[in-house]
Structure 1
């Protein structure tokens, strides 16, 4: 029977690959509570990877899509509106399957792009892995939802602020940086916090979808299902996953709450928007 120290050394970094821990996962009667606790906790590394990069990249993409949708130019707002509608109107789980099927159809040798003086080869093999392909899906999905939040915030910016900007002679980039951008973030941030939480929870779908877990390297819920299949006891692994995600959710609320205070620092305290966790059961 392994000690907790041995379980930590053998399994905490095991989700990163076999070279970072035991070659095989624990099985049958050899599974201890510490094995489950540390291996599931280690799987959160991938949840943080998927969520962190998707939120970071999706934030900037969503800003551009929201501005395009808010634009009066049809060649900008129509494609942006269509993009948002498609990704908000279809289930994330289906998007995983669709993109995996599309990535598999790409030539394994890569796509060759002739440039005249040379040929550029884009390698496509990595797109069928969860670490790349599923990440792209998460980025596109959160971009669509976040863009809709930012678009609503753009429409809600007080006209008085825009008139004041015009009075001071602010135009173009200066107007956007000093007036539009801060107001958009301030108005959208509480809802955007919920989007970040929901996206983090959605990372548990990655290895339930078509994207394979290579060398038994998966995220927290992947290992929880593995332990349930081995022990036939769902009352240890699943509560552990829920507990870890509750802690992760509290950390997101705290971090985003600090940003929210920063965005609303100029307002009187009673008028400052507070972040409240409101889970989205239907998306």
Structure 2
């Protein structure tokens, strides 16, 4: 099978398209590259959905933590403390155990006199359950970043907003939120990179791959077992992740320049990649 035929047969296998049976003998380098790249689609999906949901939730959580009302501030503090204080892998494990128990218990509720029986079995699938865990985790870390940036908003900007009659939601949307994003963006870029790297933990968690539609590490582990040579599939995974990381840095760099477009050139902060080895 040529490399072009391999791509046609296995390019979208992780999404359920193409050949259903994985190669078992005479595995070529091209097959490993194509199938691992196919599985990378799931890693990008995990990171993208969790990042989008976590961004908005983190913004709300940062505002709640900065609130003077204890009713808003304390739940936000505890949420951030719990998800930042516990390992991500343990969060995967506990969430999976909880999601497994839900279908056994069942979720029934009534709305406007109509009885509903909600199905919860999809929570145990990686495409949903893992995304929820990743979203909650990145929400906590991003909220801490946003909260620090929120407290660093120059007081002069807020006083100028008051002088122009901007209060409440209008002041937050036009002054506070853009300045908070500008200050937090370098650190938030690092969080986005870490979140993408953390998607590899989905393979080690209890969330199963549905119909063998696994992520990049799923296929790398399969090839390592079949060929007894881990020094080919795992470097391929590393190469893919490095390439996507460079893409994230470039994309977030463009957004960062957009956020800082009003500043003089010497005052524009350049992004520096600072990996967080311990979380």
Q: Same fold (TM over 0.5)?
A: yes
Counterpart position of 1:161: 157
**In 2: Cα distance, 1:190 partner to 1:120 partner:** 45
CA shift, 1:116, in A, is 5.4
Q: Secondary structure at the match of 2:165?
A: coil
Q: Secondary structure at the match of 1:279?
A: coil
Deviations 1:181-213 (A, max 9, x none): 011000000000000000001111112110011
Counterpart position of 1:147: 143
The aligned runs of 1:125-274 (5 Å cut-off) are 125-274=121-270
Note closer, same or farther for the CA distance 1:111–1:262 as it changes in structure 2 (3 Å cut): same
The aligned runs of 1:11-30 (5 Å cut-off) are 11-17=10-16, 20-27=17-24, 29-30=25-26
Counterpart position of 2:9: 10
Q: Secondary structure at the match of 1:206?
A: helix
**In 1: Cα distance, 2:128 partner to 2:105 partner:** 17
TM-score, L = length of structure 1: 0.96
CA shift, 1:145, in A, is 0.5
CA shift, 1:110, in A, is 4.0
TM-score, L = length of structure 2: 0.98
**In 1: Cα distance, 2:123 partner to 2:271 partner:** 36
Q: Secondary structure at the match of 1:235?
A: coil
Instruction: Name which of structure 1's ranges 93-102 and 103-112 shifts more when overlaid on structure 2.
Output: 103-112
Q: Secondary structure at the match of 2:109?
A: strand
Q: Secondary structure at the match of 1:114?
A: strand
Instruction: Name which of structure 1's ranges 233-242 and 108-117 shifts more when overlaid on structure 2.
Output: 108-117
Structure 1 unpaired stretches of 5+: none
Q: Secondary structure at the match of 2:116?
A: strand
Please identify runs of 4+ aligned residues in structure 1 that moved more than 3 A: none
Counterpart position of 2:32: 36
> Contact 1:58 / 1:139 at 8 angstroms: preserved in 2?
yes
Q: Secondary structure at the match of 1:106?
A: helix
Deviations 1:155-200 (A, max 9, x none): 1111111111111111011100111001100000000000000000
Choose from 111, 117, 120 the match for 1:121: 117
CA shift, 1:107, in A, is 2.6
Considering only aligned residues, what root-mean-square deviation do their CA atoms show, in Å? Answer: 1.1
Choose from 90, 94, 105 the match for 1:94: 90
Structure 2 unpaired stretches of 5+: none
> Contact 1:109 / 1:124 at 8 angstroms: preserved in 2?
no
Q: Secondary structure at the match of 1:169?
A: coil
